[in-house]
Structure 1
Amino acid sequence: MLDWKQIDTVLLDMDGTLLDLNFDNHFWQEFVPLRFAELHSLTLEDAKQQLAPRFKAMEGKLEWYCLDYWTQELALNIAGLKQELAGLIAVHPHVTEFLDAVRASGKRLLLVTNAHRDSLNLKMEKTCLHGFFDEIVSSHDFGFAKEQQGFWQILQDKHLFEKDRTLLVDDSVAVLASARTFGIAHLVSISKPDSQRPVKQVAEFAAVEDFRALMPGL
């Protein structure tokens, strides 16, 4: 699938790409509504109905990924709630093999995530993946989500990668589309970001279920 001779820099997403999205899906779709229901004496279903449009309105914006924003909006300690569920944080199969192979190849390896630093730090503490990366970048450091062109411009200004020799692996089609608009040449989607849900059909980009499919030729 990939001609690794044409790639110098590898950009990897975190949630749904390196890590099982089951943690985040369960957290936002079940655990937060449960605590919101308890706070406001609602049924779980009523809480979900109230929260769904509020979440939808922020999709693709930096606020959607900001724990401080949702802590204020919902009057819940979102970072603290994540700690309570930290046992669900899990690395996808074959990720560490892939990271080892990229490191051994001498290519530059960056983690680029929309995750808030509190969430990022918790996940790195639980998974110990941080040691693989040359740099770890949160979109909150730049003030733009990865869905926005501003993110990619600041990333290139700070980290000086060549667009035509860079690979991005991400489970978000919206993020991949933004990277394509910016000019990043090599784009791959993860089709099974959540281990508890079916494979997604991805028509717009090359897609793999796990990282073994990307390793030939590395």
Structure 2
Amino acid sequence: MIVMLIYSRNDTLITMNLKGMKNFLIDMDGVLLDIAYDNFFWQKHVPQIYANEKGCDLDQAIRITHTLFHYKKGSRDWYDLDYWSNILGIDIVKEKKSELSVSKIKIKDGVIDVLIELKNRGMKLFLVTNAHRKTLDLKLEKYPLHKYFDEAISAHDFNYIKEDIQFWYLLRNYLNIDYNETILVEDTMTNIQSARHSKLRSLYVTHSEYSGDEWVKPIECFSKFIPCLD
């Protein structure tokens, strides 16, 4: 019997029974990889390139790009590199592949150890991300995490994103897995709430004071639960 023991930020002991769990659906950005890269790219790098391309000052470029980003937040377009290339007139893929941008992609401490341990225990691991397929390929080129996963999935391939309830039903059918034997590891609450409609339990990677319930348990970082699998 596997029971996960997780300490929340206020040191309250939370337990999650993992008996019978066979599958882990694991998010990429914010769980496996540091989100500093994405924050840098969209909040700083893209506005700077936009200012250079359009001949405007940086403050104006920030206002324009951030307003456009905010308008599309939570939609499929928000993650679509081709969409933003067309809207902004910038080769987003080229900029993402720049040496400066790629240097910002960082893996979180302890991630590889956890993935190896889960694989050694016979778990099926699926990388499930909202990242555009081109972004996913770029990040996996720097850190070949796909070798630890049974499959790496971009929600774009389903024409939905993880915020959409439909996605989780399509994913379950595609993978042919039982959600009663599956745990989602995710750092975005809107995605967790969407997944909950399909009866999918989640580990919420967060630094907030979220208390948890029978469906969602908070954990400070992905590497924290490896000692608790015994």
**Structure 1 vs Structure 2: percent identity of aligned residues?**
33
Aligned to 2:77: 63
**How big is the shift at 1:211?**
2.2
Verify the 8 A CA contact 1:152 1:182 in the aligned structure 2. yes
Give the Cα–Cα distance (whole angstroms) in 2 for the partners of residues 104 and 163 of structure 1: 21
1:217 and 2:229 aligned: yes
**How big is the shift at 1:213?**
2.1
Aligned to 1:117: 133
Give the Cα–Cα distance (whole angstroms) in 2 for the partners of residues 68 and 117 of structure 1: 11
Aligned to 1:25: 39
Aligned to 2:205: 190
Verify the 8 A CA contact 1:3 1:217 in the aligned structure 2. no
Structure with greater proportional strand content: 2
**How big is the shift at 1:207?**
2.2
Give the Cα–Cα distance (whole angstroms) in 2 for the partners of residues 97 and 157 of structure 1: 29
Q: Deviation per CA, 1:51-110, whole angstroms, max 9, x where unpaired? A: 222111211111111100101111111111111110111111111011011101101100
Give the Cα–Cα distance (whole angstroms) in 2 for the partners of residues 130 and 96 of structure 1: 11
Give the Cα–Cα distance (whole angstroms) in 1 for the partners of residues 120 and 93 of structure 2: 35
Q: Deviation per CA, 1:29-67, whole angstroms, max 9, x where unpaired? A: 000011111112222221111122211121111111110
1:96 and 2:112 aligned: yes
1:110 counterpart letter in structure 2: F
Give the Cα–Cα distance (whole angstroms) in 1 for the partners of residues 65 and 105 of structure 2: 23
**How big is the shift at 1:3?**
2.4
Aligned to 2:12: none
SS at match of 1:34: helix
Write out aligned runs for 1:9-158 (5 A): 9-84=23-98, 85-158=101-174
SS at match of 1:5: coil
Unaligned runs of 5+ in 2: 6-15
Aligned to 2:10: none
1:217 counterpart letter in structure 2: L
Measured on the aligned residues, the alpha-carbon RMSD in Å equals 1.4
In the superposition, the TM-score normalised over structure 2's length comes to 0.87
Give the Cα–Cα distance (whole angstroms) in 2 for the partners of residues 135 and 129 of structure 1: 10
Deviation larger for 18-27 or 43-52: 43-52
Q: Which 4+ stretches in 1 moved above 6 angstroms?
A: none
Aligned to 1:196: none
Aligned to 2:11: none
Structure with greater proportional helix content: 1
Aligned to 1:194: none
**How big is the shift at 1:168?**
0.6
Give the Cα–Cα distance (whole angstroms) in 2 for the partners of residues 41 and 171 of structure 1: 37
**How big is the shift at 1:201?**
4.4
SS at match of 1:110: strand
Give the Cα–Cα distance (whole angstroms) in 1 for the partners of residues 43 and 209 of structure 2: 22
Give the Cα–Cα distance (whole angstroms) in 1 for the partners of residues 23 and 37 of structure 2: 28
In the superposition, the TM-score normalised over structure 1's length comes to 0.91
Verify the 8 A CA contact 2:130 2:155 in the aligned structure 1. yes
Verify the 8 A CA contact 1:146 1:152 in the aligned structure 2. yes
**How big is the shift at 1:214?**
1.8
Answer with 1 or 2: which has the greater Rg: 2
Give the Cα–Cα distance (whole angstroms) in 2 for the partners of residues 165 and 188 of structure 1: 14
Give the Cα–Cα distance (whole angstroms) in 1 for the partners of residues 91 and 208 of structure 2: 32
